[in-house]
Amino acid sequence: METTNIIGNKYKLIKQIGSGSFGSIFEGINIRTNEKVAIKIELITDELKLLKHESNIYRLLANVDGVPKIKWYGKDNLYYYMVIDLFGNSLQELLDKSRKLSLKVVLQIGINILNILMKIHDNGFIHRDIKPENFLLTLSKPTKVVLIDFGISKPYLINNQHINFKCKDKFIGTLNFASINTHNFYEQSRRDDLESVAYMLIYFFLGELDWINDDNINSINLDEFGSENNYVRTKKELITSNINIPKVLVDFYKKIRALEFKERPNYEKYIDSFSKELGNLQ
């Protein structure tokens, strides 16, 4: 990429650590303090302008523990830049190393994630792209996770009023972990973030999901999206028939699937059920 090596007069780009359809992520360093940071970059010519949107959401969620703190946002002639804290491996990378996780670890992760989402939701926002790659382990406390990538997040409360249910004209999110309502192109709400959490926790415990077939679903062919969308949705509708999924996770999934569009999920009750199951595992 063509960019100056120093941005904002104090952040130096070190190496690229990630990329996607919405820009690139670099490891960087504050040349004044030697603090390591993550620097997300987006071309100014990109029509979506997701980085500015994401930086605004980070600012609005600045007091939420489990959401990165934005350190700087700006641009040069070619790029927009957003600087946030640097974190460790993602939960997907953790799973890749372990192949599958114990129920104890899965429940601990679940409690951590539910606490984060409860605060985000209570601040009026939904994430809309909950997946293992978007949860990173902190460097200071490896058992703690943070949620990143708010590029397609949105408020579900407008002037203290919940948005209305409607059908959308396109799919928003990640196919593997999207809710069934999202597969049906329905407007998302808090319940959809939590349904994605349920698929994620089941994935961590089993080490696989029926609809994830290596690179088959990970790289979506837009020409075949309709059939792939239907395939994944059908598999998800049958998930509770899998006898290998622990009852505590099946019960959580069923409670989420029963939620109404505007209903506040009972995060506290879900956390309590996970905590009780953890106690039984000791």
Catalytic center residues:
129
Note whether 232 and 218 are within 8 A (CB).
Answer: no
How many whole angstroms separate alpha carbon 224 and alpha carbon 60? 38
Residue 12, helix vs strand vs coil: strand
Residue 34, phi then psi, degrees to nearest 5: 70, 15
Q: Which of 275, 280, 282, 259 is nearest to 114 (CA)?
A: 275
User: Residue 155: enclosing H or E segment and its boundaries?
Assistant: strand 154-155
Residues near 257 by beta carbon (within 8 Å), at least 6 away in sequence: 180, 195
